[in-house]
Amino acid sequence: MVVAEMKPFEEIKEMLKNYKNILVLGCGACVAVCLTGGKRQVELLASALRMANKIDDNDVTVGERTLSRQCEPKFIDQLRDDLHTYDVVLSMGCGAGVQELAQKLGKIPVLPAMNTRFIGSADGEGNFTEMCAACGDCIIAVTGGICPLANCPKGLLNGPCGGTKDGKCEVSPDIPCAWVMIYERLKDLGKLDDIKKIMSPKKWSRNQRPGTYTVKEKSEGKDKAEKTVSK
């Protein structure tokens, strides 16, 4: 999932200083899972903004709402009847949600309350770790299901550098060496020979910015999907 964290409160206040009617808009997808942009976080941020503006003696109205997802037009359409009462939307979604909102809402400014960090997973105790660099050219079938781009600070594709020590990265003793992890995983899987395979340089053309992906559904007896990816 996409992991994001809230911007410092003072930075958010500075962005909003010229607005009087603010909608704090949460997202019920990824940021809700990582407990940074869901309904509860919307309530807390909206409350903090009201309190801060009251202390500063500013006449500001702060509304609250949470969409199921901010990155899909069908959910954004649910806002249209209420938007006339606000002059700015403060999005607590990821970067994709902010941009989708800005595109669909037209003349109403959309400001980001969040910093989008990475695609990752949780350990069940509130800790999130980057797992995927979204490179568009996945090789983890050969590396035991561990992405060296996301897990190695240097993004090395062919084995560890000379700085690894006792299974740790030279960047920090808190970071496991990705290639030691890969070695151990392949050993457990009985596929150590895979570590000898030489990885070619990444085909970054597959990850051209901005990326596009299209799914076209067809109904021919059984549903089939025709998928096209930008080159």
Note the pLDDT of residue 110. 95
Q: Which of 63, 75, 61, 87 is nearest to 29 (CA)?
A: 75
Q: Distance between CA 149 and CA 133 in Å, rounded?
A: 6
Q: What does the alpha-carbon distance between residue 113 and residue 93 come to, in Å, rounded to a whole number?
A: 8
* pLDDT of 230: 47
Q: Please report, in angstroms and rounded to a whole number, the separation of the first and last CA atoms in the chain.
A: 24
Tens-place pLDDT, residues 42-93: 999 999 999 999 999 999 999 999 999 999 989 999 988 888 899 999 999 9
CATH architecture of the domain 2-118 equals 3-Layer(aba) Sandwich (3.40)
Model confidence band, residue 7 (pLDDT cutoffs 50, 70, 90): very high
**Quick one: pLDDT at residue 155?**
92
In the structure, what pLDDT confidence band is assigned to residue 213 with cuts at 50, 70 and 90? low
Mean pLDDT of the region 119-136: 84
pLDDT value at residue 136: 82
Confidence of residue 35 (pLDDT cuts 50, 70, 90): confident
Residue 125's Cβ-side half-sphere holds a number of Cα atoms within 13 Å equal to 0
- What pLDDT, in 10s, does the model give residues 183-200? 999 999 999 999 999 998
Q: Which residues contact 28 (CB under 8 A, 6 or more apart)?
A: 38, 39, 66, 67, 68, 69
Strand order in the sheet with 114-122: 2-6, 114-122, 128-132
Give start-end residues of each CATH 3.40.50.2300 domain in the chain: 2-118
DSSP letters of 50-115? Answer: HHHHHHTT---EEEEEEES-SSSHHHHGGGTTTGGG-SEEEE-S-HHHHHHHHHHHTTS-EEE-EE
